[in-house]
Amino acid sequence: MRRRNQRLMMIGVAGAVLVLAATLTFAGLRDSVVFFVAPSDLAEKAEAGQRVRLGGLVVEGTLRREADGASLFDITDGVTSVTVRYAGLLPDLFREGQGVVAEGRWQPGQAFEAERVLAKHDETYMPREVAEALKQRGEWKGDPPS
Amino acid sequence: MIAEIGAFAAALALALSLAQGVFGLAASRRDSRAEATAAIAQAAAALCVLAFICLIIVFVRSDFSVAPVAANSHIDKPLIYKIAGAWGNHEGSMLLWCLVSAVFGGVLASTRGSQSLGLWSRAVGVQGLVTAGALIYTLFLSNPFARLDPAPMQGSGLNPLLQDPALAAHPPLLYLGYVGLSVPFSLALAALLEGKADQAWAKALRPWTLLAWTCLTLGIGLGSYWAYYELGWGGWWFWDPVENASFMPWLVACALVHSAIVTERRGSLASWTILLAILGFGLALLGTFLVRSGVLTSVHSFAVDPQRGIAVLVLLAIAMGAGFGLYAWRAPKLAQPSGFAAISRESMLVWNNFGLAVAAGVVLIGTLYPLLVEALGGGLISVGPPFFNMTVAPLLAALFIVLPFGPMLTWRVGDMRQALLRLAPAAALAVLTLIIALVTTHWRAAPAIGLAIGVWLIAGGLIYLWTRIRRGEGAAFAKIAVLPLAVWSMSIAHIGAGVLTLGAVAETAFRSEQAVALSPGEGVTFAGRRITMIEIGEVEGPNYSATRANFRVDSASGAGIVAAERRFYPTSPMPTTEVGILSSLDGDIYIALGEAVRDGAGAWSVRLYHNPLVHLIFIGVSMMGVGGLLSFIALTRRRRTAA
């Protein structure tokens, strides 16, 4: 009898932890998932202030710096381009004309405020999300060299 | 010629490992066949060693007619990175995978120990099939010995970011860990085939599990350390899919290390241990798939080749299909476990396993969720650090609160009152830490709880060591000297987990960063320090040129000079950042040099980070690795004396 109670207790605690973990997981997936948008979808798909990932090619000749060290550059998917402002140090592999993903928030009429800029370790890399977006726009020029 | 020898050796190894599979699985009844299996496994291992040596030779000789050499090496590269280049690329790393699998198969074949003949030869057989699968993939889909015609005059060079001592050691360690999990998998399948998973089986399983876990721990730690000082982002863990791909097998291997103890000592949990062994290898394969296929957007990069991804997925499906199929069929026939009370060493280890398994499940969901959403047409999404911090951190916190009780309780029926009494000082210290942290951080609950848990783990581990030392006889030194290695290894690993927790919590919660534009002679106040750029200029390295800036950091405790570089490799269009790190007891000042500010009159953009207690992260991981290593030594030594 006692052993059975103990077993029931352990199963009860395990069940409670599982329920808690599941709740946290679903709440987390609901709240902290970040959607990927292309520059031309930004206005229509992303709400103002919502955290999104903006991906595309950095437009040649648009990288400039503000007095406080922040970088400004334009990201395009071939249709629309969006100005991105990033206060951090750009990744080593960031280059004009190449694909990047900027994660951050956007307000209508302002530059996209990036909190993170991703470029891959490999210089031949094109972010998959960017490739998808470019394919959809018919801007795709073959698979990236691997 | 060397490349052809290598390819030939690998092809022969494939034939032999298939034979090893067939003979091993069929050998259970006859000793002569078992002897043949062992010889075949050793020959296959030797051939894989030969193939890998050939690969290293073509890299050292810069034979650019071999495709991976041309794509990843360069004449000007220092010798050590030419050697490391052999496994710093996709094809070579797959051959390394085969090498480790075959050598482990050979070692497994040479160390039967107290296992029954059938169990042992079947395990060797399954291991042979695992090696064969890896060799088929390597030879047919990513041949490291493929020739180029015409051969280029010069190679395109290893990605300069990868030209680094930590990263030269990172892949071999990770692969030892990943592939190390294939041996527990083979042993688990053999146990299911035999319908027997006894204490002798668990005894054979434990060193392999520990070896895999230790290598994964050190490999992940090195990768994290590399990311910290090489990428220049100031962080050490990004919950990137590639990191998760190694973290999931680590969690399961950690659970397996603990459940195998229960199976060996008490004979219970055998069925669960088998399941974990299958899952661990499955997650290692899944990790390989995620990294190799490029299905997940990651800040890391590897060859994006759908065909290769699908091939890994097929291997994963075969291995897991066989594993889970056998498990469903045979596991119910395994002997029923002996019982234990709700308060006992066993039950604590069950909680450990439960926590680690749920954490692995949560990481798996977070990692695969983007794929699921995309497959269902929900658009492209990413699941980032907030999700993992929110889910994994509380789970690990709960696990860590329970952890110090485990060693304090005895097998079968434990005495919770006594354990509580002994751990009371640790609890008091933890509560004190909690209160101080709450007050000094203006009631930030999460980091305060995290720090308290770190203190609880460290103090709990020390108290356990102390109670074990006191139990001995004679003078203090004699008591310490007779303490079993297993006690040391466990305590070091558990205290290491506490040290890691302190560092991770402090770094995550209290780090600060600032981007500034500085010209020589100019300074800025940051994190209670004065940081001044002394000078900036050009320097030449062996195969790169660099812009180097020297900084002076003045703090209350003294001054220090630190250099940060921005390197340009002629083989790569991308500059790389060599951060300047000034370590002190309370943490690191971390300086990354950016670019010259346009129209900035000689000013450069500089990114400053203060990472409090960050070194504790790497010390903690090292302690866990050392603990694992000591435990491995204790187990193998015990086995030798028993034999």
Contact B576 A92 (CB under 8 A): yes
Residue A30 CB neighbours (<10 A): 9
Domain membership of residue B635 (yes or no) is: no
Per-residue three-class SS string for B580-600: EEEEECCEEEEEEEEEECCCC
Contact A27 B577 (CB under 8 A): no
Find out whether A127 and A100 touch, Cβ atoms under 8 Å. yes
How big is the CA angle at A30 (ends A29 and A32), to the nearest 5 degrees?
65
Residue B123 φ/ψ, nearest 5 degrees:
-60, -45
Q: Does A53 touch chain B (CB under 8 A)?
A: yes
Query: Are B35 and B179 members of one domain?
Result: no
Selected residues 375-404 of chain B with any CB under 8 Å from a CB in chain A: 379-384, 386-387, 390-391, 394-395, 398
CA distance linking residue A39 with residue A57, whole number of Å? 10
Q: Which amino acid is present at B474? A: G
Longest dimension (CA), chain A: 78
pLDDT at A91 over 50: yes
Query: Are B398 and B314 members of one domain?
Result: yes
pLDDT at B180 over 90: yes
Query: Are B461 and B312 members of one domain?
Result: no
Residue A10 CB neighbours (<10 A): 15
Query: Are B289 and B418 members of one domain?
Result: no
Query: Are B250 and B305 members of one domain?
Result: yes
Query: Are B139 and B170 members of one domain?
Result: no
In Å, how far from its chain's centre is CA B356? 15
- A87 closest CB neighbour out of B303, B394, B515: B515
Contact A14 B354 (CB under 8 A): yes
SS3 A112: strand
Contact B365 A25 (CB under 8 A): yes
pLDDT at B252 over 90: yes
Selected residues 71-130 of chain A with any CB under 8 Å from a CB in chain B: 87-93, 95, 101, 103, 118, 120-123, 125, 127-129
CA distance linking residue B577 with residue A89, whole number of Å? 10
CA-nearest residue of chain B to A14?
A: B354
Mean pLDDT, residues B94-116 taken together: 91
CATH of domain A35-136: 2.40.50.140
User: Parallel, antiparallel, or unpaired for β A81-86 and A112-118?
Assistant: parallel
Find out whether A70 and A118 touch, Cβ atoms under 8 Å. no
Query: Which contacts (CB < 8 Å, 24+ apart) does range B634-637 have?
Result: B634/B484, B634/B485, B634/B486, B634/B489, B635/B206, B635/B207, B635/B210, B636/B207, B637/B485
Residue B144 φ/ψ, nearest 5 degrees:
-75, -10
Mean pLDDT, chain B, whole residue set:
88
Find out whether B160 and B568 touch, Cβ atoms under 8 Å. no
Query: Are B90 and B217 members of one domain?
Result: no
- Residue at a domain's end among B352, B381, B402: B402
Query: Are B136 and B198 members of one domain?
Result: no
Mean pLDDT, residues B467-486 taken together: 82
Query: Are B103 and B206 members of one domain?
Result: no
Q: Treating both helix axes as pointing N-terminal to C-terminal, what angle do B385-402 and B485-510 enclose, rounded to 10 degrees?
A: 140
Confidence of residue A42 (pLDDT cuts 50, 70, 90): confident
Query: Are B287 and B414 members of one domain?
Result: no
Determine the distance in angstroms separating the CA of B457 from the nearest CA of chain A, rounded to an integer: 21
- Residue at a domain's end among B132, B163, B194: B163
Selected residues 475-514 of chain B with any CB under 8 Å from a CB in chain A: 513
Domain membership of residue B633 (yes or no) is: no
Query: Are B138 and B178 members of one domain?
Result: no
B210-248 confidence digits (pLDDT tens)? 999 999 999 999 989 988 888 777 788 888 888 898 999
ipTM, interface predicted TM-score of the complex = 0.73
- Residue at a domain's end among B402, B434, B465: B402
B504-523 confidence digits (pLDDT tens)? 999 999 999 888 888 898 89
CA distance linking residue B76 with residue B82, whole number of Å? 9
CA-nearest residue of chain B to A94?
A: B574
Mean pLDDT, chain A, whole residue set:
76
Q: How far is CA B337 from CA A115, B123, B191, B198, B205, in A?
A: 53, 23, 15, 10, 18
SS3 B70: helix
Structure tokens at B600: 């900035």
Residue of B304, B412, B416 to mutate when probing chain A, most A C-beta within 10 A? B304
Structure tokens at B255: 């659970």
Contact B379 A90 (CB under 8 A): no
Mean pLDDT, residues B415-441 taken together: 94
User: Residue B46's pLDDT is what?
Assistant: 97
User: Parallel, antiparallel, or unpaired for β A33-37 and A52-58?
Assistant: parallel
User: Parallel, antiparallel, or unpaired for β B587-596 and B580-584?
Assistant: antiparallel
| Cβ-based contacts of A17 with chain B (< 8 Å) | 354-355, 358, 395, 398
Query: Are B435 and B502 members of one domain?
Result: yes
Domain count, chain B: 4
Contact B354 A123 (CB under 8 A): no
Domain with B388, as residue range(s), is 166-402
- A6 closest CB neighbour out of B341, B572, B600: B341
Mean pLDDT, residues B557-570 taken together: 87
Q: Half-sphere exposure of B96 toward its Cβ, with a 13 Å CA cutoff?
A: 23
**B2 exposed, middle or buried (CB, 10 Å; 0-12, 13-18, 19+)?**
middle
Domain membership of residue B634 (yes or no) is: no
